[in-house]
Structure 1
Amino acid sequence: MNSMKSRQGGLSLFSFLIVFIVVGFFMLTALKVIPVYLDHIKAKASLEGLKNEINIAQKSPDEIKRMLEKRWEVNSIDEISTAENVTIEKRGGEITIKVAYEVERPLIANMSILIKFNDAITVGDAN
């Protein structure tokens, strides 16, 4: 009499496992990437803070690099080397400070995430 079969909906064990793996992969990636971006925000804020320094245009490139090193040391930013990643160009009373660096984080087995950053500020008078 009752020819209608009732079907229970939902995820099978295999489907649940696939969803669990995908969500886990994205969570693992986020756990590796978020600290890198938080450090970059602090590094960029330190760089932008140079705009507020008095007489920054009169300082030598080595003095500016030392200032950045101190700021990054206080903020525990170890990914950036001023010798390798910071370039300073002086033109007249204007200074352009460029910071370009890469951060590589291992993900799973032989897979890694590579994140590249490139920031620059210009301070001083163009006159």
Structure 2
Amino acid sequence: MYSQPGRQSGMTLIGFLLMFLLIGFFALLTLKLVPIYLEHFKISSSLESLKKEPDIGAKSKNDVLRLLERRWEINMVNAVTAKDVVYTRQPGKVKIQIAYEVTTPILGNVDALVYFDDVIEVPSN
């Protein structure tokens, strides 16, 4: 009696390699971008902590920059400097903005550019 073998199902070697490359690419992308976002969290939390600082609205731009730079030094932040901080005094409030971008190489000549823009407003005295 002649019986036909059942159809084999599964992934071919090419399919396996393509799936492995796709998973590897996203793992590489994650490994490159997660440290950038962790550092951004440190920067934004130091900016938010200025809201809790007493009389921050009455301090000069240089005092605010010194406070931020001290916090960045403690948290080992390297992506942002005092040049990235915009300090604007408006009637009744002070606006502090940090806008910066981080470029990281991904693979060969492919880079990832991540742009951040954080703003806080505190009442001035």
**TM-score above 0.5:** yes
Deviation at 1:7, TM superposition (A): 2.1
How many residue pairs get matched? 125
Deviation at 1:6, TM superposition (A): 1.5
Deviation at 1:10, TM superposition (A): 1.0
- What code does the residue aligned with 2:121 have? T
Gaps of 5+ in 2: none
RMSD: 1.3
Aligned to 1:95: 94
1:81-103 deviations in whole A, cap 9, x for unaligned? 112x1000011341100000000
User: TM (normalized to structure 2)?
Assistant: 0.95
User: TM (normalized to structure 1)?
Assistant: 0.93
1:79 is the counterpart of 2:91: no
Deviation at 1:48, TM superposition (A): 0.3
Aligned to 2:41: 41
1:1-127 alignment, distance < 5 Å: 1-83=1-83, 85-125=84-124
Provide the C-alpha distance between the structure 2 equivalents of 1:93 and 1:73, rounded to a whole number of angstroms: 30
Runs of 4+ with >2 A deviation: 1-5
- What code does the residue aligned with 1:86 have? V
Provide the C-alpha distance between the structure 2 equivalents of 1:25 and 1:56, rounded to a whole number of angstroms: 45
Deviation at 1:19, TM superposition (A): 0.3
Provide the C-alpha distance between the structure 1 equivalents of 2:33 and 2:15, rounded to a whole number of angstroms: 27
SS at match of 1:38: helix
Provide the C-alpha distance between the structure 2 equivalents of 1:34 and 1:21, rounded to a whole number of angstroms: 20
SS at match of 1:106: strand
Deviation at 1:41, TM superposition (A): 0.9
Provide the C-alpha distance between the structure 1 equivalents of 2:31 and 2:78, rounded to a whole number of angstroms: 18
- What code does the residue aligned with 1:45 have? S
